[in-house]
């Protein structure tokens, strides 16, 4: 379909040809320039075209800012990134501790007669969720460190 539209856009001569579309019992769509069994003629409206507006040159130096303004913006960005990194490091340490506690605490269930069994699937699900949290915070820390390294 994409190719058909591209052909129609770039070759105006083909716009005037007839196009037929047929859908078989399995839902497969076939396009053709000659009539096909069970096909219907598609009528396409001509595409309107217009030229893009000319680029306007600005004499006021937009979007430049003076060095002091840019330095202030950079300092604010650096502070935000450092705060985010500090928060993510705390969350990562907390997630690692939760994982350690979760791995050391098996999931169990008791039957009506008082027997205790391990629930392995629930344990694995819990540990996977905790590992995912550690991975998420680790990736966030790495991304923040990468951004901070651009300031040096």
Query: Is the backbone of residue 37 left (phi > 0), alpha (psi -120 to 50) or beta?
Result: beta
Q: What 3-state DSSP class applies to 14?
A: helix
End-to-end CA distance of the chain: 50
Per-residue pLDDT of the chain (152 residues; tens, 9 = 90+): 555 555 555 555 544 578 889 988 888 888 888 888 888 888 888 777 888 788 776 666 677 888 899 899 999 999 999 999 999 999 999 999 999 999 998 888 888 888 888 888 899 999 999 999 999 999 999 999 999 998 86
> Token pair for residue 142?
């790495």
- Cβ neighbours, 10 Å, residue 137: 20
Domain ranges of the chain: 2-42, 67-149
- DSSP E strands in the chain: the ranges are 19-23, 29-32, 40-42, 108-110, 116-118
User: CA 81 to CA 147: how far, in whole Å?
Assistant: 8
The Cα–Cα gap between 33 and 19 comes to 5
* Averaged pLDDT of the chain: 85
Residue 59: exposed, middle, or buried by beta-carbon count in 10 A (0-12, 13-18, 19+)?
A: exposed
pTM over 0.75: no
CB atoms within 10 A of CB 100: 12
Cα 71 off chain centre by: 32
Cβ partners under 8 Å of residue 47, min gap 6:
8, 9
Tell me what pLDDT residue 14 has: 47
């Amino acid at each position: 379909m994409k190719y058909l539209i591209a052909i129609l856009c770039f070759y105006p001569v083909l716009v005037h040809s007839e196009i037929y579309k047929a859908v078989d019992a399995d839902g497969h769509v076939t396009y053709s320039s000659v009539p096909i069994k069970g096909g219907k003629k598609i009528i396409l409206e001509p595409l309107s075209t217009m030229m893009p507006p000319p680029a306007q040159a600005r004499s006021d130096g937009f979007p430049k800012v003076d060095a002091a303004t840019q330095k202030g913006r950079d300092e604010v960005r650096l502070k935000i990134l450092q705060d985010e990194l500090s928060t993510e490091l705390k969350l990562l340490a907390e997630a690692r501790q939760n994982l350690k506690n979760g791995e050391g605490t098996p999931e169990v269930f008791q039957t009506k007669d008082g027997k205790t069994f391990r629930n392995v699937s629930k344990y694995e699900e819990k540990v996977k969720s905790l590992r995912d949290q550690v991975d998420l915070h680790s990736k966030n820390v790495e991304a923040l460190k990468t951004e901070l390294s651009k300031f040096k």
